[in-house]
Structure 1
Amino acid sequence: FLEKVNPSKYPNRKKLYNEPIKANYVQGSFMFTRASSFEKVGGFDTNLFLYYEESDLSMRFLKSLGQSSYLYPQQSYIHYKGGSTTKSILIKIEQKISLLY
């Protein structure tokens, strides 16, 4: 919905881009940042476990340091989503707790 209403702020996630594009966040499995920036924002929030760490970090980089996140489409990788966890109701509960936090 947000991609349709405000595409300049919420770029289409399924489009293939040729140039780097500013993004609200990038997946944590392929996030790179300076250690100094990570330290300045206080590192990972220990209230978040397993989900939404990258969204939180990206938001704090932007709000605290004025540093945006970018997607570089020339780079690629394979990420096995959920590969480090087994499907269970406890994992789903943890995900929702992090989302609500």
Structure 2
Amino acid sequence: MRVGTPAPLAPDDVPARRLDTRIRRMDGSLVLAFGETVVQLSESGALLYEHMDGRRTVGMLAAVLAETYELSEQEALTDTGEFLGYLLENSLAEVRTSGP
């Protein structure tokens, strides 16, 4: 598992929620907290986070985003990678890499 400053994610990497992250719905938004870090997710961020089940790959998550928001595959992969990178940098997610 990888946590912390991320290397670029591959489409076959599998992100997962950290079990020690607190999750709350406040005023219709999804809010994550870990330690002193508190993040309110955008609608698209909440969609991705809710689909992060430890089984779906980055590519699969990007496909959900592309379908929901009518994005190209490349736009969705870029946006998904940026979002997951942010979560990893803030210790709000972890990822199983596809490589050795």
In the superposition, the TM-score normalised over structure 2's length comes to 0.28
Could you say which structure has the larger radius of gyration? 1
Larger fraction in strand = 2
